[in-house]
Amino acid sequence: MTFGRSGAASVVLNVGGARYSLSRELLKDFPLRRVSRLHGCRSERDVLEVCDDYDRERNEYFFDRHSEAFGFILLYVRGHGKLRFAPRMCELSFYNEMIYWGLEGAHLEYCCQRRLDDRMSDTYTFYSADEPGALGRDEARPGGAEAAHSRRWLERMRRTFEEPTSSLAAQILASVSVVFVIVSMVVLCASTLPDWRAAAADNRSLDDRSRYSAGPGREPSGIIEAICIGWFTAECIVRFIVSKNKCEFVKRPLNIIDLLAITPYYISVLMTVFTGENSQLQRAGVTLRVLRMMRIFWVIKLARHFIGLQTLGLTLKRCYREMVMLLVFICVAMAIFSALSQLLEHGLDLETSNKDFASIPAACWWVIISMTTVGYGDMYPITMPGRILGGVCVVSGIVLLALPITFIYHSFVQCYHELKFRSARYSRSVSAEFLN
| Cβ-based neighbour number of residue 378 at 10 Å | 9
- Higher-confidence position of 407 and 285: 407
pLDDT confidence bin for 1, thresholds 50/70/90: very low
- Higher-confidence position of 230 and 418: 230
Mean pLDDT of 58-69: 88
Euclidean distance between CA atoms 307 and 198, whole angstroms: 40
Q: Report pLDDT digits (tens) over 193-223.
A: 887 766 666 665 555 444 444 444 456 677 8
Mean pLDDT of 240-246: 82
pLDDT of residue 395: 93
Residue 381 has pLDDT above 70, yes or no: yes
Question: For the structural domain made of 8-127, what CATH number should be given?
Answer: 3.30.710.10
Residue 422 is classified by DSSP as: H
- Domain 310-415 architecture: Orthogonal Bundle (1.10)
* Pairing outcome for strands 53-55 and 18-23: unpaired
- CB contact set of 317 (below 8 Å; sequence gap of 6+): none
Q: What is the DSSP string of 187-200?
A: HHHHTTSHHHHHHH
The pLDDT > 70 percentage for the chain reads 75
Handedness of CA 120, 121, 126, 128 (dihedral sign): positive
Q: Report pLDDT digits (tens) over 382-418.
A: 888 889 999 999 999 999 888 888 888 888 888 888 7
Q: Report pLDDT digits (tens) over 321-348.
A: 888 888 898 999 999 999 999 888 887 7
pLDDT of residue 38: 81
Mean pLDDT of 289-311: 74
Q: Topology of domain 162-202+215-304, per CATH?
A: Four Helix Bundle (Hemerythrin (Met), subunit A) (1.20.120)
pLDDT of residue 235: 87
Picking from 134-148, 362-376, 403-417, which range would have the lowest pLDDT averaged per residue? 134-148
pLDDT of residue 131: 43
Angle ∠(410,117,107) on CA atoms, nearest 5: 80
Q: What is the DSSP string of 162-208?
A: H-TTSSHHHHHHHHHHHHHHHHHHHHHHHTTSHHHHHHHHHHHHHS-
Of 169, 150, 147, which is closest to residue 159 (Cα–Cα)?
A: 169
What is the residue-averaged pLDDT of the chain? 76
Residue 127 has pLDDT above 70, yes or no: no
Query: What does the domain layout of the chain look like in residue ranges?
Result: 8-127, 162-202+215-304, 310-415
pLDDT of residue 337: 92
Picking from 66-80, 191-205, 300-314, which range would have the lowest pLDDT averaged per residue? 191-205
Euclidean distance between CA atoms 412 and 429, whole angstroms: 27
